[in-house]
Amino acid sequence: MRLSTFKKLVCVGIVIFVVGVSGAATTVTSEPGAANRLVVRADQGRYTIAPEIYGHFAEHLGRCVYEGFWVGPDSAIPNVRGIRTDVVEALRKLDIPVLRWPGGCFADEYHWTDGIGPRDQRPEMVNTHWGMVTETNAFGTHEFLDLCEMLGCEAYIAGNVGSGTIEEMQDWVEYMTFAGSSEMADLRRKNGRDEPWRVKFFGVGNENWGCGGNMTPAHYADLYKTYQTYVRGYSGNPIVKVACGPSSDDYDWLETVLRNAGRYMDAISLHHYVRGSGGWGAGQKGSATDFEEDEWFALMRNTLTIYPLLERSKEIMDRYDRQGRIALFVDEWGTWWNAEPGTNPAFLYQQNTVRDAVSAGIFLNAFNEHCDRVKMGNIAQTNNVLQAMILTKGPQMIVTPTYHVFEMYKVHQGATLLPSDMTCRGCGPDGKQASLVASASRDAAGTIHISICNLDPQSATELVCEIAGGESGRVYGRGQLSGRVLTASRMNAHNTFENPEAVKPAVLEGLSNAGNGRITVPVPARSVVVLAIK
């Protein structure tokens, strides 16, 4: 029987319950004045943190694909077969495990046959969701899978249910993955690719409750069952089939799709975007860079909703899937601000500050902590769109504070989650939220990594980490003990093309080890810290 253990987040005047990984005893207590203490249970690791939790998402939207990845083979920007070299090199440093494409909303109006064959003969289409701009189809199936091979990552393709046919979806999978002789496989060969590609993940539609067809959950579940039937595992390429899940807390969608079609899926998605105190309407989401402290706290509060959201989603999944067979893929997440002034609002180009970095650290800690069900996360989006890793301006490229969080956290990929109990003082306008959020793991070499976010925009603090339960009385911290920190002097600090290294990781100074497994960690205000402990 799967037992979920409550994480208790106690704040001044309110008590919020957050549930941790099944079987992982985790308590977070936030009390003003209390000492900050994190107890890590080194002997209780049970679940692997799927590398795909650190996944990414690239849509035909604004400058994510075009300019972000694709510049074309004739570009003066250095490229390999049309894909820019600087971006691939930067992303490879993240050990990017999986890339989702071609959307997003774009997926449900994308017809893959338009994006194969000689580029100068590919038909154009209108990208109706993202600015009504002309899509040239220069970047299609071959270019995307070439990109995945350059990145060394798995491919996650989102298929078209909203406006595509079952046959079209079946043909696409056969085209990409069938090794034998067939009309589709032979067409692939004619277009220059002999061997099939490996396509591990296939999404049957995207946001079909909204831009993907405005369906009811029951209607989608019926369509899902039919479409997925024809998503075949050809030639030793078993496909992980992903059903379209809800937006944030639309638990009715989650429950209905699971109830009606759960046995036909390997995973179900969840999308969760966060902002400050503004609305979701045009121009209401607030500025990415120009904000006061109350908007810092608003984002932290909204980001922390990921914990109860995952818990409730898991409870529902446990009801329909007692074996824990179906994975939860948070295949779109991140911050969403007003587009940068002077840019096309439909292109969703936003800057990215230390505030976004701390928010990303919280999300990733939450995914780690729920890695018994959460097997994938795909931040939106890779380049030039929403909470991007990379911003480009013609030939120039910079990386964002969020990029650095992914680079620092990559040590968790494939590691074993270690349950942890946090006691910390409160912060926020009324002390009404935890000031520190952490998660811990042990990698294959035995090194423990702890990632810590300080949600307080003004106050540095100290955290005592106790590593409990080391095997054979082992005391951690006597071997390697090091830390890295990402912070800046201002809460809206960000990297620009003029100053590309304003925010970057540094060595964390001042770690001390009492020699008994207790490590004292200075945690700067508005920071993300990652420790390595042997």
What minimum distance in Å lies between the beta carbon of 325 and ligand AHR? 25
Alpha-carbon span 534 to 518, nearest angstrom: 13
Q: Cβ–Cβ contacts within 10 Å for residue 497, how many?
A: 12
d(CA 201, CA 223): 19
Active site residue 109: no
**Shortest Cβ 267–ligand AHR spacing (Å):** 16
Smallest distance from ligand AHR to CB 129, Å = 7
Please pick, among 52, 207, 255, 466, the residue that the annotation labels catalytic. Answer: 207
CA distance 493 to 487: 9
CA distance 436 to 11: 12
**Nearest-10 Cα torsion for 122, 76, 197, 207:** -70
- Residue 407 tokens read as 């680079």
Catalytic residue check, 207? yes
Strands 436-442 and 506-507: unpaired
Residue 7 or 271 with smaller CB distance to ligand AHR: 271
Question: Which residues in this chain contact ligand AHR in the complex, by CB under 6 A?
Answer: 59, 103-105, 206-207, 332, 380-381, 386
Min dist CB 214 to ligand AHR, Å, is 13
Is the Cβ of residue 105 or residue 360 nearer to ligand AHR in the bound state? 105
d(CA 365, CA 472): 28
Provide the token pair at 344. Answer: 């096309």
Of 211 and 422, CB closest to ligand AHR = 211
> In this complex, which beta carbon is closest to ligand AHR, that of residue 256 or of residue 381?
381
Q: Which is nearer to ligand AHR, 59 or 266 (CB)?
A: 59
CA torsion angle for 476, 482, 488, 492 (degrees, to 10)? -50
**Residue nearest ligand AHR by beta-carbon distance:** 104
Q: How many CB atoms lie within 10 A of CB 167?
A: 9
Q: How far is the CB of 105 from ligand AHR (least distance, A)?
A: 4
Here the tokens at position 146 are 């070439």
- Closer residue to ligand AHR (CB): 204 or 380: 380
Closest distance of CB 388 from ligand AHR, Å: 11
- Total residue length of the chain: 534
**What DSSP element (H or E) covers 45?**
none
Given 52, 332, 407, 466, the catalytic residue? 332
Distance of alpha carbon 247 from alpha carbon 332, whole angstroms: 9
Catalytic residues: 207, 332
